[in-house]
């Protein structure tokens, strides 16, 4: 942000809002790391902790909502301040949805057998790592108001699409070998899809950050990779 | 595209030694509301006072450059200032009705401009003007009472009715709501919305929110210069100039 506001408390309120979004982002990121870890390791003990952390994320969301309402009514923000306020509303919504998806993935660990073949999980793991990296990068671009970095994340979602396709294929392949695998394969398919959807929310955040910084929306449609037909 | 009603070209204004406006180039679109914003003393009022040559009454004031209305030079010494002010009405910060009846406040202008010959013609103008200023229903039964007895908001609408009564083309408003409560302000803003269908309006305001609500175009003045002019929405969502952004977001130091 440029110069400081004449009204100090306005400055503090805006900064407090941005800080809340950053904190919510970092909670969402560690929740996603934990959830991914639980899936890959089929670690059933950590499920409750991940579900609990989702409650924390949701609490942040309502806290941010209320901060935004106060800012709007008290300050009637304009220009960059208006964009900052509206962006935090949008970003917190996307973060909350990402949190829900991580929680949903954690819940899928319960019915998984402990002896899942490694090659089955390898592609899912790669996808998870990429989505976590994307989330980390997008939050980084928010903290540093880095337009190029946000745009890079937006463009890289193509790779998320591609890895989703590959991960899906390997699960379907595994499933087709033995019908007994149907039960937990379905869970893995949903988990893969959830990661892809988290990736979409991350690109939404990247778009919001670009708008926040330049005041105009990214032009053209986002590059898309291979997509599983729904 | 809207037609340009008023065009200022390299307008410079001096009060004695002090220069108040520097090379102001600003186009005002016809039948639109243009808001002028900027810190106190930045030249917005000086600028609008050039449009109907109100600065003529200040001895030490010197105006250079051009202001055209429909392509005709306002500063032309041959131009009849009275008929100019008939075309360009003005409403001020503090409501200033004449110490006369409500009726006389409205009929005075048409009378001196020879617009209402008979009583019935004048009656018609008074009613029409008060209706346009959204005041008729509130005052129709007490037209002979003094205008100064009305509430602040009503007085301001009376002044707008007075400006309208001579059927001008342009209405200049210099902070017309700064002395009014929120309801009276809302009524004036509602009125401005209606009036812009007929008139070209230039409004000076210190309320950013008001500029956003009432205007289609906004000009930001600073130290006598126009820093940025553009569509109101653009100015308040994403201005090009950093100084504009600092001003509208309250960062001016």
For A8-17, how does the pLDDT look when each residue is reduced to its tens digit (9 = 90+)?
899 999 999 9
**Are B237 and A83 within 8 A, CB to CB?**
yes
SS3 at position B244: helix
Position A115 scores a pLDDT of 83
ipTM of the complex: 0.79
**Are A3 and B250 within 8 A, CB to CB?**
no
Structure tokens at B242: 């950093």
Nearest to B250 among A6, A83, A214 (CB): A6
**Helical H runs in chain A?**
8-41, 47-75, 79-107, 118-143, 147-177, 182-214
pLDDT in tens, A66-78: 999 999 999 999 9
> Which residues of chain A from 9 to 38 reach within 8 Å of chain B, CB to CB?
10
**C-alpha–C-alpha distance, residues B162 and B150, integer Å:** 14
Position B72 scores a pLDDT of 94
Per the structure, the count of domains in chain B is 1
- Is B88 within a domain? yes
The minimum CA-CA distance between A52 and chain B, rounded to whole Å, is: 39
The minimum CA-CA distance between A215 and chain B, rounded to whole Å, is: 5
Average pLDDT over residues A104-120: 88
Q: Which domains does chain A have, with CATH numbers?
A: 8-214 (1.20.58.220)
Position A230 scores a pLDDT of 56
Position A173 scores a pLDDT of 87
- Is B111 within a domain? no
Instruction: From residue A58, give the alpha-carbon distance in Å to each of A16, A26, A206, B120, B162.
Output: 18, 13, 21, 70, 58
The mean of the pLDDT values for chain A is 93
| CATH code of the domain covering residue B202 | 3.40.50.300
Torsion of the alpha carbons at A135, A138, A139 and A145, rounded to the nearest 10 = 180
Split at pLDDT 50, 70, 90, the class of B116 is confident
Of A66, A174, A86, the closest CA to residue A123 belongs to A174
Which of A9, A72, A78 is the best substitution to test chain B (most B C-beta atoms within 10 A)?
A78
**Are A81 and B236 within 8 A, CB to CB?**
no
Q: Is any Cβ of chain B less than 8 angstroms from the Cβ of A41? A: no
Split at pLDDT 50, 70, 90, the class of A228 is low
- Is B58 within a domain? yes
Q: Is any Cβ of chain A less than 8 angstroms from the Cβ of B81? A: no
Please check the confidence at residue B43 and state whether its pLDDT lies above 80.
yes
Q: Is any Cβ of chain A less than 8 angstroms from the Cβ of B211? A: no
**Are B251 and A6 within 8 A, CB to CB?**
yes
**C-alpha–C-alpha distance, residues B229 and B239, integer Å:** 9
Split at pLDDT 50, 70, 90, the class of A118 is confident
Q: Is any Cβ of chain B less than 8 angstroms from the Cβ of A72? A: no
- Is B228 within a domain? yes
Please check the confidence at residue B101 and state whether its pLDDT lies above 90.
yes
pLDDT in tens, A17-70: 999 999 999 999 999 999 999 999 999 999 999 999 999 999 999 999 999 999
Nearest to B239 among A5, A7, A79 (CB): A79
Q: Which domain holds residue B189?
A: 4-99+170-248
Average pLDDT over residues B121-140: 94
- Is B129 within a domain? no
- Is B80 within a domain? yes
Give me the total of CB pairs closer than 8 Å, taking one residue from chain A and one from chain B.
46
Average pLDDT over residues B154-165: 95
Which residues on chain B are in Cβ contact (under 8 Å) with A5?
249-251
The mean of the pLDDT values for chain B is 94
Position B113 scores a pLDDT of 86
- Is B180 within a domain? yes
Position A1 scores a pLDDT of 46
**C-alpha–C-alpha distance, residues A105 and A100, integer Å:** 9
pLDDT in tens, A150-186: 999 999 999 999 999 999 998 888 888 877 778 888 8
pLDDT in tens, B168-182: 999 999 999 988 889
Which of A8, A80, A212 is the best substitution to test chain B (most B C-beta atoms within 10 A)?
A80
- Is B185 within a domain? yes
């Amino acid at each position: 942000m440029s110069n400081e506001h004449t009204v100090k408390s306005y400055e503090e309120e805006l900064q407090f809002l941005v800080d809340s979004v950053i904190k919510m982002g970092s909670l969402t990121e560690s929740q996603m790391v934990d959830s991914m870890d639980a899936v890959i390791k089929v670690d059933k003990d950590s499920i409750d902790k991940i579900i609990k952390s989702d409650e924390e994320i949701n609490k942040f969301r309502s806290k941010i909502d209320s901060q935004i309402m106060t800012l709007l009514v008290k300050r009637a923000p304009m220009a960059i301040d208006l964009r900052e306020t509206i962006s935090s509303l949008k970003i917190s919504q996307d973060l909350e949805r990402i949190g829900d998806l991580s929680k949903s993935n954690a819940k899928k660990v319960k019915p998984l057998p402990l002896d899942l073949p490694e090659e089955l999980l390898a592609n899912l793991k790669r996808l998870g790592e990429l989505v976590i990296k994307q989330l980390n990068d997008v939050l980084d671009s928010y903290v540093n108001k880095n337009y190029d970095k946000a745009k890079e994340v937006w463009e890289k979602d193509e790779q998320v699409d591609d890895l989703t396709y590959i991960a899906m294929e390997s699960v379907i392949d595994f499933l087709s070998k033995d019908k007994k695998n149907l039960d937990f394969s379905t869970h893995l398919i949903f988990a893969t899809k959830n990661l892809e959807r988290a990736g979409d929310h991350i690109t939404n955040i990247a778009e919001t950050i670009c708008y926040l910084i330049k005041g105009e929306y990214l032009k053209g449609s986002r590059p898309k990779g291979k997509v599983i037909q729904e | 595209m809207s037609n340009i009603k008023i065009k200022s070209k390299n307008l410079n204004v001096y009060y004695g030694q002090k220069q108040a406006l520097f090379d102001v180039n600003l186009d005002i679109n016809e039948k639109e509301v243009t808001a002028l914003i900027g810190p106190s003393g930045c030249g917005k009022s000086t600028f609008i006072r050039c449009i109907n040559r109100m600065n003529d009454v200040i001895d030490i004031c010197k105006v250079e450059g051009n202001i055209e209305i429909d392509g005709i030079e306002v500063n032309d010494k041959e131009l009849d200032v009275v008929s100019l002010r008939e075309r360009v009405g003005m409403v001020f910060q503090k409501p200033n009705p004449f110490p006369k009846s409500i009726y006389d406040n409205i009929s005075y202008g048409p009378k001196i401009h020879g617009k209402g010959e008979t009583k019935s013609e004048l009656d018609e103008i008074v009613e029409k003007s008060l209706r346009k200023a959204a005041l008729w229903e509130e005052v129709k039964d007490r037209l002979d009472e003094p205008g100064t007895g009305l509430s602040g908001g009503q007085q301001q609408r009376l002044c707008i009715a007075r400006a309208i009564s001579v059927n001008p083309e342009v209405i200049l408003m210099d902070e017309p709501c700064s002395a009014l409560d929120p309801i009276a302000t809302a009524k004036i803003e509602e009125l401005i919305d209606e009036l812009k269908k007929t008139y070209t309006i230039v409004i000076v305001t210190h309320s950013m929110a008001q500029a956003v609500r009432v205007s289609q175009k906004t000009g930001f003045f600073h130290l006598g210069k126009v820093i940025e002019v553009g569509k109101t929405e653009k100015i308040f969502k994403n201005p090009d100039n950093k100084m504009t952004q600092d001003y509208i977001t309250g960062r001016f130091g």
